[in-house]
């Protein structure tokens, strides 16, 4: 058995490929295979299967696909290969030997190839790795952002393997074969400069210099046309080598005699210059200096000399050598830079046009400065006017520099004499703008706190490029100066491990590849955290990555371990939080007390003891400061490390109780909207803290949508309450989820119900214990575990009777009857439903009486007591009275009516009156279809198909079934 991601998502066996099914199911399989042997939450699966907001029945869709995948794997005897699709709480995990996954074997082969000293061995391993590919990665799966990102990462690794194969061929002297391998990929990826550079080298060394030069010019034109950028140093060096025959039998040209690439290229920092020779002499200067990086300036236009009070800062010598570049305030080139291809491309695109301002934003420690400085060094040749840099220290302990201090540094660098620098900030700003007017400058304003801090130091020239970095979004700068945002997020797993490898060495990381991925995960992909973790490991070479991962898994120590000296995640976050207004910092500190992963404005208000309007304003400020992440219109989350930092801040002790009571109140409001007319399933505790505002629900659809979104966080809230000894809150939160349990019963409810049972017993609330037992038993029966269910259900009626809860006793008896019927004890089941109906009737509870009579009718149908079943079902219908207009009827009453109509129809058919039975069943099916009750439609249509040959029934049945298991 083999699971494939390198091509179409598929499962191969000796008998052939298994029929995985539609794109959604392939996507779910792909999402599980991308994280083998690890739980994948339902939310992660939703993100993989739907690009926009998932439908209300998304969990049911996922359950349906999981069920079919399990059946498919069982049909192929997957268990014999050690493969199991397991449910882990609210997540699923595909347990399997990772050697069965082609992507895992591919990564292992690439890792082995990298470590080979013998070129022939590297060739063999690379060829074996590439032979596993059968097309684009994750083909046939839904093109959701998470899966597209995973496919892109796999493709990047494949291209790296191709380049490694070509390099191994080159080490063997087989340059023609290297060129053949690279040509195919360069044609498909014409903008990948490393491929083109390697291809040029291979062509040159195999005696095809003209082809190498043509390759360069073709790539240069594409880069200019598609991205508006010039070739980088790697491609420019390959061009110079091809132009002068470096690497072939020709003798190397003397220094100073080499030609520079054509106008519009960026040769980058020269390498290999002769000792004592000027570095600028690496290339022969063209007739005109290189073209600017903005498309406004034609290629070949001469660059202005930088002159100031101190005289010219650039000139052209008698031999035509460019001496430009003495104005350079950039920090050194950052070491260990990896990935960020998309961000670098976005920055290059933003840096085009007239006087562009690029706004690079992201959270503390995400690597904004590193990205910008790397980009600036890589593109330095495009700024002959100079490269200016200032750290505005917007988030620093040392204080911010004044506008005049920043401008003074810039003017001095541009050659203005100290005595000629104006003493006022406005005068210095005007002089700076006038000097920059005709120059081609790059101005980097790093670590800005606000828009006002930036505006006075902006250059005035249309050929100047300004890059601003900030932890805040600086919306004011976007509004006033048309700044172009370039957001920077955390690193992808592959880039995270590459960063670790840059510090620790590839061999050490490759030896513990799984631990390295786990370490990257615990660091949340945050470059600062990764560098600190790598620094600790580098300082202790005997400490394994697995040991470091184990220690970081302890949330109480994680932030401490991610600090070294004066550098670390806590220090960076502390400086960001210090800049927050007091009320916003108050909300942030209380967010750390939230037991879930997401908050809305109502939960944030409950935590902080404020109102939703103030909470939303604070969340908006936190989002602008990259301390919170907005995931939906009214939904925010925190990065894991930010959440841990917030948890360590001072907050009121009552915050947890307030947010738990908010959860209880909102869940009760949702239950009331979802099932109007139903009595609350519990009374509020005596010390309940009513929230100042509770979300309102317009109807069942909104309520069920809220349940679907908040389900996992509500379960976490119940767990937090249980852990804190707030048992009354724990069982109430779980019980308040009953409308979703009824609607999505096979959705892993047993674990939270077991916790609720412990809480009810610890709370010494017999009524709650009875209700939880009844609900838990029913869930276990629906999951196909009736023997376990009976153990709980047998105790529930007696407990309810002891506290006088007649409705609870009747419900428990009905649920017990279902478990008994599933075990074959139909007579006992009938007796239980009769008792339940009598209890409900005596209590005047028509709803529970109707429920008991419906299940009694089902048991009688199972026993083929047709007339009894008919009488029972009709008597239950009579309890409902005439149905209200569909727009006013509650979903519960509509669903109950559909089920009873179906029972009447089945009883009539069983009694021999097929025509009348078909009429009742058809009414039931049409009523279910009209109100979107797909489960009821499936039941009625299934019964119809057993007795009717109507050709349209099968299509209606298939459509209803499809809606249950897949997106309509």
pLDDT digits (tens, 9 = 90+) for 301-353: 333 322 233 333 332 222 222 233 358 899 888 877 878 888 999 999 999 88
Give the pLDDT mean for 416-426.
87
Query: Confidence band (pLDDT; 50, 70, 90) for 254?
Result: very low
Q: What is the pLDDT of residue 340?
A: 86
Q: Which of 9, 4, 5 is nearest to 24 (CA)?
A: 9
pLDDT in tens, 352-406: 888 899 999 999 889 999 999 999 999 988 898 899 999 998 887 777 899 999 9
Q: What is the pLDDT of residue 282?
A: 25
Q: Which of 829, 809, 810 is nearest to 819 (CA)?
A: 829
Confidence check: pLDDT of 934 > 50: yes
Q: Which of 448, 445, 408 is nearest to 428 (CA)?
A: 408
β 386-391/441-448 pair status: parallel
Q: What is the CATH number of domain 891-967?
A: 1.25.40
What does 488-534 look like in DSSP terms, one character per residue? --PPPHHHHHHHHHHHH-HHHHHHTHHHHHHHHHHTTT-HHHHHHHH
Count of Cβ atoms closer than 10 Å to residue 187 Cβ: 10
Confidence check: pLDDT of 252 > 50: no
Query: Confidence band (pLDDT; 50, 70, 90) for 950?
Result: confident
Q: How far is CA 868 from the centre of its chain?
A: 55
Q: What is the pLDDT of residue 264?
A: 37
Give the pLDDT mean for 440-449.
94
Q: Which CATH architecture has domain 1-172?
A: Orthogonal Bundle (1.10)
pLDDT in tens, 506-528: 889 998 999 999 999 999 889 88
Q: What is the pLDDT of residue 279?
A: 26
Assessment of whether the complete model's pTM goes beyond 0.85:
no
| Rounded (10°) angle between helices 58-75 and 23-33 | 80
Query: Confidence band (pLDDT; 50, 70, 90) for 893?
Result: low
Q: Which residue has the higher pLDDT, 208 or 601?
A: 601
Domain ranges of the chain: 1-172, 341-487, 493-572, 891-967
Q: Which of 100, 107, 193 is nearest to 157 (CA)?
A: 107
CA 964 to CA 626: how far, in whole Å? Answer: 39
Confidence check: pLDDT of 271 > 60: no
Collect all residues with Cβ–Cβ distance below 8 Å to 941 and sequence separation of at least 6. Answer: 925, 953, 956, 957, 960
Contact 885, 931 (CB under 8 A): no
Query: Confidence band (pLDDT; 50, 70, 90) for 920?
Result: very high
The percent of residues in the chain predicted with pLDDT above 70, rounded, is: 89
Give the pLDDT mean for 166-174.
90
Q: What is the pLDDT of residue 964?
A: 65
The upper half-sphere exposure of residue 251, i.e. CA atoms within 13 Å in the direction of its Cβ, equals: 3
CA 836 to CA 846: how far, in whole Å? Answer: 12
CA 383 to CA 414: how far, in whole Å? Answer: 14
CA 129 to CA 136: how far, in whole Å? Answer: 15
Residue range 341-487 in CATH 3.40.50.300: yes
Q: What is the pLDDT of residue 99?
A: 84
β 465-470/441-448 pair status: parallel
Q: What is the pLDDT of residue 77?
A: 85
Q: Which of 166-170, 245-249, 272-276, 783-787 has the lowest mean pLDDT?
A: 272-276
Count of Cβ atoms closer than 10 Å to residue 252 Cβ: 13
Give the pLDDT mean for 189-208.
86
CA 37 to CA 98: how far, in whole Å? Answer: 8
Q: How far is CA 428 from CA 278, 334, 405, 466, in A?
A: 35, 31, 10, 18
Dihedral angle over CA of 540, 117, 498, 334, nearest 10? 80
Q: Which residue has the higher pLDDT, 544 or 677?
A: 544
- At residue 361's C-alpha, the angle toward residues 360 and 367, to 5°, is 85
Q: Which helix (H) or strand (E) holds 338?
A: none
pLDDT in tens, 81-99: 889 998 887 789 999 988 8
Confidence check: pLDDT of 885 > 60: no
Q: What is the pLDDT of residue 466?
A: 96
Q: 564 has which bridge partners? A: 567
Query: Confidence band (pLDDT; 50, 70, 90) for 245?
Result: low
- At residue 795's C-alpha, the angle toward residues 817 and 895, to 5°, is 40
Confidence check: pLDDT of 942 > 50: yes
Query: Confidence band (pLDDT; 50, 70, 90) for 286?
Result: very low
Q: Which two tokens stand for residue 832?
A: 């239980």
Confidence check: pLDDT of 231 > 80: yes
Q: What is the pLDDT of residue 304?
A: 30
CA 64 to CA 801: how far, in whole Å? Answer: 38
pLDDT in tens, 551-603: 999 888 888 888 876 678 888 888 888 889 999 999 999 999 999 989 999 99
Give the pLDDT mean for 110-133.
88
Instruction: Please give the order of strands across the beta sheet that includes 16-17.
Output: 2-4, 10-13, 16-17
Average pLDDT, the chain: 83
Query: Confidence band (pLDDT; 50, 70, 90) for 667?
Result: very high
β 357-361/307-308 pair status: unpaired
- Give 527-549 as a 3 state SS string: HHHHHHHHHHHHHCCCCCHHHHH
Give the pLDDT mean for 789-810.
94
Confidence check: pLDDT of 258 > 70: no
Count of Cβ atoms closer than 10 Å to residue 766 Cβ: 15
Query: Confidence band (pLDDT; 50, 70, 90) for 247?
Result: low
Contact 240, 283 (CB under 8 A): yes
The percent of residues in the chain predicted with pLDDT above 90, rounded, is: 38
Give the pLDDT mean for 230-236.
83
Q: What is the pLDDT of residue 246?
A: 58
Confidence check: pLDDT of 480 > 70: yes
């Amino acid at each position: 058995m083999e699971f494939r991601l390198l091509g179409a998502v598929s499962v191969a066996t000796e008998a052939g490929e298994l029929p995985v099914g539609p794109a959604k199911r392939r996507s779910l399989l792909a999402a599980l295979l991308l994280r083998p042997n690890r739980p994948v939450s339902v939310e992660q699966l939703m993100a993989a299967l739907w690009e926009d907001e998932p439908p209300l029945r998304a969990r049911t869709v996922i359950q349906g696909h999981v069920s079919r995948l399990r059946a498919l794997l069982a049909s192929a005897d997957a268990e014999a290969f050690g493969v199991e699709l397991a449910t882990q709480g609210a997540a699923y995990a595909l347990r399997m030997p990772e050697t069965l996954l082609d992507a895992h074997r591919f990564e292992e082969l690439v890792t082995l190839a990298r470590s080979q000293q013998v070129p022939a061995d590297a060739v063999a391993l690379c060829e074996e790795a590439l032979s596993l590919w059968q097309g684009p990665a994750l083909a046939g799966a839904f093109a959701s952002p998470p899966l597209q990102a995973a496919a892109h990462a796999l493709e990047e690794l494949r291209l790296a393997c191709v380049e490694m194969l070509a390099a191994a061929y080159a080490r063997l002297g087989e340059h023609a074969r290297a060129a053949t391998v690279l040509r195919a990929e360069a044609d498909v990826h014409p903008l990948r400069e490393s491929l083109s550079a390697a291809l040029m080298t291979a062509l040159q060394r195999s005696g095809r210099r003209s082809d190498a030069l043509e390759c360069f010019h073709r790539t240069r034109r594409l880069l200019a046309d598609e991205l508006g950028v010039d070739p980088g140093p790697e491609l420019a060096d390959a061009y110079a080598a091809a132009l002068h025959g470096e690497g072939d039998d020709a003798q190397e040209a003397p220094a100073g005699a080499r030609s520079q690439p054509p106008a519009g290229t960026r040769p980058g920092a020269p390498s290999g210059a002769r000792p004592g020779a000027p570095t600028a002499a690496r290339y022969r200067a063209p007739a005109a200096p290189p073209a600017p990086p903005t498309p406004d300036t034609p290629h070949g236009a001469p660059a202005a000399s930088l002159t100031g009070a101190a005289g010219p800062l650039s000139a052209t010598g008698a031999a035509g050598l460019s001496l430009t570049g003495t104005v350079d305030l950039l920090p050194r080139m950052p070491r260990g830079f990896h990935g960020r291809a998309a961000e670098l491309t976005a920055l290059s695109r933003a840096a085009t046009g007239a006087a562009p301002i690029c706004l690079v934003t992201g959270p503390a420690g995400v690597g904004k400065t590193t990205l910008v400085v790397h980009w600036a060094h890589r593109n330095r040749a495009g700024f002959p006017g100079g490269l200016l840099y200032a750290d505005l220290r917007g988030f620093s302990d040392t204080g911010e520099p004044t506008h005049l201090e920043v401008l003074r540094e810039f003017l001095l660098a541009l050659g203005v004499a100290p005595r000629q620098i104006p003493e006022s900030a406005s005068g210095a700003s005007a002089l700076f703008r006038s000097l920059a007017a005709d120059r081609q400058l790059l101005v980097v304003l790093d670590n800005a706190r606000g828009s006002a801090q930036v505006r006075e130091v902006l250059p005035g020239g249309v050929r100047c490029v300004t890059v601003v970095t900030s932890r805040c979004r600086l919306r004011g700068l976007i509004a006033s100066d048309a700044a172009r945002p370039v957001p920077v997020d955390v690193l992808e797993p592959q880039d995270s491990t590459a960063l670790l490898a840059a510090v620790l060495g590839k061999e050490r990381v490759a030896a513990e590849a799984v631990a390295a991925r786990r370490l990257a995960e615990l660091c949340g992909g945050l470059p600062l955290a990764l560098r600190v973790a790598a620094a600790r490991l580098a300082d202790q070479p005997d400490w394994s990555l697995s040991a470091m991962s184990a220690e970081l898994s302890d949330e109480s120590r994680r932030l401490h371990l991610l600090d070294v000296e004066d550098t670390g995640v806590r220090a960076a976050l502390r400086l960001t939080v210090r800049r927050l207004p007091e009320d916003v910092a108050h909300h942030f500190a209380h967010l750390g007390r939230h037991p879930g992963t997401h908050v809305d404005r109502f939960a944030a208000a409950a935590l902080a003891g404020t109102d939703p309007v103030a909470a939303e304003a604070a969340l908006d400020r936190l989002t602008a400061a990259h301390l919170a992440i907005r995931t939906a219109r009214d939904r925010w989350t925190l990065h894991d490390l930010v959440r841990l930092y917030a948890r360590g801040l001072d907050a009121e002790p009552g915050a947890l109780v307030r947010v738990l009571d908010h959860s209880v109140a909102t869940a009760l409001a949702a239950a009331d909207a979802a099932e109007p007319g139903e009595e609350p399933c519990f009374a509020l505790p005596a010390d309940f803290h009513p929230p100042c505002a509770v979300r309102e629900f317009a109807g069942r659809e909104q309520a069920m949508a809220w349940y679907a979104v908040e389900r996992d966080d509500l379960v976490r809230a119940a767990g937090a309450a249980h852990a804190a000894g707030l048992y009354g809150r724990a069982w109430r939160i779980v019980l308040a989820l009953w409308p979703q349990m009824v609607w999505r019963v096979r959705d892993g409810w047993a674990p939270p119900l077991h916790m609720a049972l412990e809480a009810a017993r610890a709370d010494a609330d017999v009524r709650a214990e009875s209700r939880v037992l009844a609900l838990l038993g029913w869930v276990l029966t629906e999951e196909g575990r009736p023997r376990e269910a009976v153990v709980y259900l047998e105790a529930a009626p007696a407990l309810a009777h002891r506290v006088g809860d007649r409705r609870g006793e009747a419900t428990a008896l009905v649920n017990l009857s279902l478990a008994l019927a599933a075990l074959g004890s139909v007579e006992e089941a009938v007796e239980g439903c009769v008792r339940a109906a009598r209890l409900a009737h005596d209590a005047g509870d028509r709803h529970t009486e109707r429920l008991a009579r419906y299940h009694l009718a089902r048991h009688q149908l199972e026993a083929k007591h047709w007339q009894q079943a008919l009488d029972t079902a009709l008597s239950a219908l009579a309890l409902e009275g005439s149905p209200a207009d569909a727009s006013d009827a509650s979903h519960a009453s509509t669903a109950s009516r559909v089920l009873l109509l179906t029972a009447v129809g089945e009883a009539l058919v069983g009694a021999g009156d097929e025509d009348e039975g078909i009429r009742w069943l058809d009414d039931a099916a049409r009523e279910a279809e009209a109100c979107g009750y797909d489960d009821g439609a499936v039941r009625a249509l299934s019964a119809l198909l057993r007795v009717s040959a109507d050709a349209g029934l099968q299509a209606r049945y298939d459509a209803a079934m499809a809606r249950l298991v897949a997106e309509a």
